[in-house]
Amino acid sequence: MKTESEIRMVGMQALIASLGLVEAERFLAAVSRERLNYTEWRRNGLPSMRLETLAAQANSYTEQVNAAGDTH
């Protein structure tokens, strides 16, 4: 099991990899300004689709990103 510090580090790395440094900082600032109700966000903020569909779309997106970044 990861420590809280390790989880924060991995989370920051994921945010920066996904959004870039500036947008990751903007995201964190926005979250800290608002009172985030995670339970409500989880219920209403995510797409309403089956987990298998979401996973397939995520895998497809990852393959596209990897193919676009492949310079060989």
pLDDT confidence tier of residue 71, bands split at 50, 70 and 90: low
> Residues 65, 44, 42, CA angle at the centre, nearest 5°?
70
11-70 pLDDT, tens per residue?
A: 999 999 999 999 999 988 888 887 777 788 777 877 777 888 888 888 888 888 888 876
* CA-to-CA dists, residue 54 to 12, 16, 17, 18, 67, angstroms: 22, 22, 20, 17, 20
Distance linking the first and last C-alpha atoms of the chain: 37
CA 21 vs CA 1, 13, 32, 35, 55: distances in Å = 27, 9, 17, 23, 26
